[in-house]
Amino acid sequence: MQGSILYYKMPRVILSPNQELVNDLGRRTGRASRLMGRGVDTDMFSPTKRTRENGVFTFGSCGRLRAEKNVRMLVEIEKALLESGRTKIEFLIVGEGNEREYLSENMKTAEFTGFIDGEELAAAYANMDVFLFPSETDAFGNVAQEANASGVPAIVSDKGGPKFIVRCGETGFVAKDVDEFIKYAFELYDDQEKLSKMKALSRKSAMSRSWDSIFEGVYDGYREAISLHEKARARHTNG
């Protein structure tokens, strides 16, 4: 980050994908720093795309299957569920990467879709009951938002951007380590009433994050940058 500060000092207004970066870049650069979130297509990603009703509880994950995504935690979560007697489960894992072999060799209930998109991806999300996203390196984590739009609560890491998407206890949980991921997975597996409420709240929350509302914030940032530029030019002219 330190090596990039000179670059980030170039604009008059910085748009950042999460509040943590907004605060950090504003403090480090002395520039105006504003939030630029991301919208989600709630027509594409919707609970209506669900196609499975087999009575099996589906934990899902979506993203690159690489070490920096912390995907090996899925093995530990599955193991804890099975050893606790919570055996009517499956893991639906969307994505590709060099960790797929490890996951395949060490998970008993996993189904791997490989890379998918469009309607196939939308159906995969909708067929999940709980979304797991242990990555600690994502600045935003749009997959958690797509899961919420599909009516799926998300359990995410307390490091990185996804924690700003999830409302802890309402649209999912924010977990500090594998033990908390497991605790919340148990909680939602065991409490169907809570799960149903969180599914509804997840969808409702995603519906409020339209691209129109996101871009209004972006336009405000542009207007602020133009205003700051004009004030600086006036000072230079008058000086």
* Res. 215: pLDDT tops 90: no
Cα angle 187, 188, 191; round to 5: 80
Determine the pLDDT at residue 19: 75
Rounded CA gap, 162 and 76, in Å?
21
Domain ranges of the chain: 1-37, 47-207
Over pLDDT 90: what percentage of the chain?
A: 66
**Residues 47-207, CATH architecture:** 3-Layer(aba) Sandwich (3.40)
pTM of the predicted structure, to 2 decimals: 0.80
Whether the Cβ atoms of residue 185 and residue 76 lie closer than 8 Å to each other: no
Determine the pLDDT at residue 24: 74
Expressed in percent and rounded to 5, the helix, strand and coil fractions of the chain are: 50, 15, 35
pLDDT digits (tens, 9 = 90+) for 7-22: 777 788 887 766 777 7
Whether the Cβ atoms of residue 219 and residue 36 lie closer than 8 Å to each other: no
pLDDT digits (tens, 9 = 90+) for 47-96: 999 999 889 999 999 999 999 999 999 999 999 999 999 999 999 999 99
Instruction: List, edge to edge, every strand of the sheet that includes 172-175.
Output: 110-114, 89-94, 57-62, 130-133, 154-157, 172-175
